[in-house]
Amino acid sequence: MIEIDQLTKVYDGGVAVDNVSMTVETGTITVIVGTSGSGKTTLLRMINRLEEPTSGVVRMNGDLTNSMPKHILRRRVGYAIQGHGLFPHYTVARNIGTVPTLLGWPADKIRARVDELLELFSLDPTQFRDRFPTELSGGQQQRVGVARALASRPDLLLMDEPFGALDPIIRAKAQTDLRSIQRALGSTIMLVTHDMEEAIHLGDRVAVMDAGRLVQYGTPTEIIRYPETDFVSEMVGGLDRPLRLLSLSTVSDIVEDGPAEGEALDVGMNLRDALSQCLWTGRDDAPVIRDGTVIGRVTIDAIRARAEGRQ
């Protein structure tokens, strides 16, 4: 568990982060979202003391971070940034093994951990272990950067705009991969972004910052349905809010008994895509399948009810 208690940062009389308090549960993804200058990156950097707070404290699993030597703290906290920051003269394996090497892990344990992470990120160790960063695509470099941050099994992974440099298609895949890997490893992640779509897609909880203050902290559904300020309402997109809400639910949430004709929808499809499929084909309903077997149907009326918060 990460506890942020009244954290404040002042620069030359200006307040970059203003009395922020929040708790991040173990094994979750918390996304900090806000416009440029909102204080989100400064907040992240104070957690691993790349920036020292003016006041306030951070506790990691009950331990005060300001009482730890910085090198010990940073071994407990992985850090991944936009552009990945790989060492260009190191191979992929050496990049990923950087922190375990500093920690004195034996060579066979480091190699096993490198291969484990490469496989987890869908990078065949036999093909990628000995490559250099310049031989990788942007998406592959980003995956190696995250793998490096996870290599020593840190208590917390901090990510600052990790997907900002990727094109939209690779970015969407990277987000999905991160979510799957986080679930597989049970990692605790705090991620900064300016993109509310990314925050909603990735976050178990979303922290919205404005002018250094934490203006709302809740689940994606709470943020979309019940924005607490005009700024939050603008961030979640006004008229687009019902569609964002549909992207958080799947067909399995509203599947019902009954027949339907036409191409079937998978039970795991999100309701935003299900609505698009039905509208595109001019249907009021569609059959739903799980593992190739029809288990019921989904209707446009039920999807609309979910978008309006009536279901």
Find the angle CA(17)-CA(19)-CA(25) to the nearest 5 degrees.
Answer: 95
Closest to 134 in 3D by CA, of 91, 99, 80: 91
d(CA 188, CA 161): 17
CATH no. for residue 99?
Answer: 3.40.50.300
For residues 186 and 286, state if they share a domain: no
| 202 lies in the same domain as 106 | yes
- pLDDT digits (tens), the chain, 311 positions: 899 999 999 988 789 999 999 999 999 999 999 888 888 889 998 998 888 999 999 998 888 988 888 888 877 888 877 656 788 899 999 999 888 888 889 999 999 999 988 888 888 899 999 999 888 887 788 788 888 888 888 888 888 887 766 666 667 777 777 788 788 778 889 999 888 888 888 889 999 999 899 999 998 888 887 888 888 888 777 546 677 777 777 888 888 888 888 888 888 888 878 887 777 777 788 888 888 888 888 888 888 787 776 55
Whether residues 213 and 269 share a domain: the answer is: no
**47 and 72, same domain (yes or no):** yes
In angstroms, the CA 170 to CA 181 distance is: 16
Please check whether residues 255 and 231 belong to one and the same domain: no
- End residue of a domain, out of 217, 238, 259: 238
Residue 218 forms part of a structural domain? yes
Edge to edge, the sheet with strand 265-266 lists: 265-266, 285-290, 293-299
Is 301 part of a structural domain of the chain? yes
The sign of the torsion formed by the CA atoms of 232, 238, 241, 243 equals negative
* Residue 7 sits in the same domain as residue 98: yes
Q: Which of 238, 269, 297 is the last residue of a domain?
A: 238
Confidence (pLDDT) at 309: 65
Question: Rounded to an integer, what distance in angstroms lies between the CA atom of residue 97 and that of residue 91?
Answer: 10
List of E strands, the chain: 2-11, 14-24, 29-33, 55-60, 63-64, 77-81, 156-160, 189-193, 205-210, 213-218, 265-266, 285-290, 293-299
Do 53 and 110 lie in one domain? The reply is yes
Please list, residue by residue across 224-258, b when 16 or more beta carbons sit within 10 angstroms of its beta carbon and e when fewer do: beebeeebbeebbbeeebbebbbbbbbbbebbeee
Pair (124, 67) in one structural domain: yes
Same domain, 83 and 195: yes
Name the domain count of the chain.
2
| Whether residue 47 sits in one domain with residue 184 | yes
Q: Is residue 295 part of a domain?
A: yes
Q: How far is CA 95 from CA 72, 88, 125, in A?
A: 20, 9, 13
**CATH number of the domain bearing residue 277:** 3.10.580.10
Among 193, 210, 238, the domain-final residue is 238
pLDDT at 239 (0 to 100): 47
In terms of domains, do 233 and 274 share one? no
Same domain, 193 and 225: yes
Whether 244 is in a domain gets the answer: no
**pLDDT at res. 289:** 87
In-domain check, residue 81: yes
Residues in the chain: 311
What are the contacts of 279-284 at 24+ separation with CB within 8 A?
none
Cα distance between residue 32 and residue 29, in whole Å: 10
The whole domain housing 261 covers 249-307
